[in-house]
Chains A and B, each alone.
Chain A
Amino acid sequence: MNVALRLLGLLVVALLALATSALVGGSYLPVGDVFYALFHPHAQSDVVTILWQLRLPRVCIAAIVGAELAIAGALLQGLLRNPLVDSYLTGVSPGAAAAIALSVVAGVAAPLLPAIGFAAGLATALVVAAFARRGAGLDAIRLILCGVSLSALFSALVTLVLTRAGPAYAAQILAWLAGSTAGRGWSDLFFTLPYASIGLVCSFAAVPALNVLRLGEGRAAAVGVNVSRTQWLILVAAALLAASAVAVSGSIGFVGLVVPHLARRVVGGDARALLPGSALLGAALCAIADAASRSIAAPAELPVGVLLAFVGVPTFLYLYLNMQKVRA
């Protein structure tokens, strides 16, 4: 009961964040005009164009990316019973970055980059999972070690490309690496939606098993959890979510690591509440961060990823350490 109310609270917070993000931006739009434009998308005015072509797609993308990264983080933290894991654990982000960097240098057309990033991110995750196989299932320690080492390899590759490519290429690669929703449109949103939906369904299919896995793999297997199948289901779901997020917004850190922890404090550790709670909180956080990235230095843009790290990390550490003190 209580948990349902808290989830409802998070939903309200997320909706408010989306609304705020739609109202705020490089150019000031009167609230009344925004509301008028919202319900008259075919009217001819600058407000309609700014809202429908520039702001709304970004707000939606920021929210979906935030939700995807938060769910992926919550899934992997739960599967590996490790609070330090984030949504990019399996090398999704560096894998995508390396492929994008190489494609940019090879002169691949910009509209193809999200698809390449998505495919490379997903492929990296599957390669890491293949290395981490033990019997039918996955070995948690090997998964983490393979993920970390492949990430290091691909990051090195990106650095190599950056140092060898000309400044024009480097700028294009860096813009992508920084993690940003600048200039994203409806087509990016439609690209990510199918994968996000599949990832979401897989995540929610894993919820009951995820709850029982909190007792440890041995105890979970004793009550009938098919541990290896659950591991693959969760891994594929997390990889799909993270890769489709990376494909449209580049590498946005912090969300996948931190949001599940914050959500756990609000709605508790039960996966039935934790996954929706993480999704709502991640969406709210990214929508607000996107609004801030557009307005703080307007008309220039700050990358969302950088902003989230600068503001979010100290805030999170402060909140988390203080809460620990209260509990102890």
Chain B
Amino acid sequence: MIGLREAAIGIEDRVLIAPATATIEAGTFVAVLGANGVGKTTLLRVLSGALQPSSGEVRVDGMDPAALGPLERACRIALVTSDDAPVDGLTARDVTASGRYPFHRWWEWSESPYDRAAIDDALVAVGMSAFAERRFETLSSGERQRIWIALALAQEAPVLLLDEPTSHLDVRIAHEILALLRAQTRAGRTVVCAMHEINDAATYADRLMLLGDGQMLAYDTPERVFTAGLLETAYGIPMEIVRAASGAPRAFASGATDAGASAGGPRPSPSPNGRDTGRSA
């Protein structure tokens, strides 16, 4: 369980998100949404304990993550960053095995049978067992993302934070990755995922945390967050909410921000079904 109590999020003395209170229950999938630069990554860094909140408090399973030592923190919280440093000369398995780092003292250089099982399980969970011995740099971006998630799973932390895990991935792979994260919540893990694809978030997340306008605009179910007003405030572009065949809400930016024209009049709605089948192949 992750708790924010009157926590303000910011970098140094610049506050990005005004004090907010929210509770993320264990075993839920929360998508953090908001425009570029609104503070999604910073929020994840605060949740991971890499950064202190500007004010207020953050608790992960009752503990202040910033007060934990780096090793203990890594055993409780796994963070999949979006930084793209080149990795050379390692196999997919080598990368995954790095997730076992926090469980070893500096003189313990060899993998225990338990480590091996954790690494193998993580590779199975992301569907990459067959790629274990492939060199990392030869993998596609979707396969690399799976391996980064496998590394986090090998950490066996109950909390999984991900920064834009589906950016730059095609529709099918993005959905596969979100589905495997969703599956992790069924195993009891808490997943918090910053992302840009709002409709994918509505499909897979239990709750959406919508950031914008220097505050946490909403933290609620997709049904409640998907209102034109909230999404327009967050993204600064007129939004149109439609229903997929399944009844799930979908939002689409309804054209250019041509100030006068966009103020609410009826407009031809995109074919929800056509768009939907395209996205949920």
Contact = CB atoms under 8 A, between A and B. Distances in A.
Interface of A: 81, 204-209, 211-212, 214-226, 264, 268-270, 272
Contact of A215 (B70, B78, B98, B155): B98
Contact of A223 (B90, B106, B107, B151): B151
Nearest to B148: A219
Contacts of B224: none
B114 interface: no
B171 interface: no
Given A208-B106, A211-B98, A222 B89 contact: no
B71 A207 contact: no
Contacts of A207: 106, 109
Contact of B79 (A212, A216, A222, A226): A222
Nearest to B72: A224
Contact of A219 (B48, B70, B73, B81): B81
B191 to A, nearest CB: 15
B152 to A, nearest CB: 8
B22 interface: no
Contacts of B98: 211-212, 215, 219-220, 223
B74 interface: yes
B102 A224 contact: yes
Interface residues of B, number: 33
B24 interface: no
A269 B90 contact: yes
A223 B81 contact: no
Interface in B63-103: 70-75, 78-81, 83, 85, 87-90, 94-95, 98-99, 101-102
Given A215-B95, A218-B85, A219-B81, A224 B106 contact: no
B104 interface: yes
B81 A224 contact: no
6 tightest A-B CB contacts, nearest first: A216-B85, A224-B74, A224-B102, A269-B89, A224-B71, A222-B79
Nearest to B101: A223
A224 B87 contact: no
A226 B85 contact: no
A218 B90 contact: no
Contacts of A223: 74, 98-99, 101-102, 151, 155
B109 A272 contact: yes
Nearest to A205: B106
Contacts of B71: 224
B116 to A, nearest CB: 15
Interface string B200-244: 000000000000000000000000000000000000000000000
A270 B91 CA distance: 11
Contacts of A205: 106-107
A225 B70 contact: yes
B85 A222 contact: no
Given A208-B109, A222-B79, 15 more contacts: A209-B101, A212-B98, A215-B85, A215-B87, A217-B85, A219-B85, A219-B98, A221-B70, A222-B48, A222-B78, A222-B152, A223-B102, A224-B101, A225-B101, A268-B89
Interface string B109-152: 10000000000000000000000000000000000000010011
Interface string B243-271: 00000000000000000000000000000
A207 B98 CA distance: 12
Nearest to B87: A215
B270 to A, nearest CB: 38
Contact of A208 (B74, B78, B101): B101
Contacts of A226: 70
B35 interface: no
A224 B83 contact: no
Contacts of B101: 208-209, 212, 223-225
A223 B50 CA distance: 12
Contact of B83 (A218, A225, A264, A270): A218
Interface in B28-64: 48, 50
Counting chain A CB atoms within 10 Å of each CB, the highest count among B81, B101, B104, B151 belongs to B101
Contacts of A272: 109
Nearest to A206: B106
Contacts of B75: 224
A221 B95 contact: no
Contacts of A225: 70, 101
13 contacts: A205-B107, A206-B106, A208-B101, A215-B85, A221-B70, A222-B74, A223-B98, A223-B101, A224-B71, A264-B89, A268-B89, A269-B89, A270-B94
A29 to B, nearest CB: 42
A207 to B, nearest CB: 7
Nearest to A272: B109
A209 B101 CA distance: 8
Counting chain B CB atoms within 10 Å of each CB, the highest count among A206, A207, A212, A272 belongs to A212
Contacts of B94: 270
B132 to A, nearest CB: 16
Contacts of B83: 216, 218-219
Contacts of A208: 101, 104, 106, 108-109
Contacts of A211: 98
Nearest to A233: B106
A327 to B, nearest CB: 11
Contacts of A220: 98
Contact of B87 (A204, A209, A214, A268): A214
A214 B90 contact: yes
Contacts of A218: 81, 83, 85
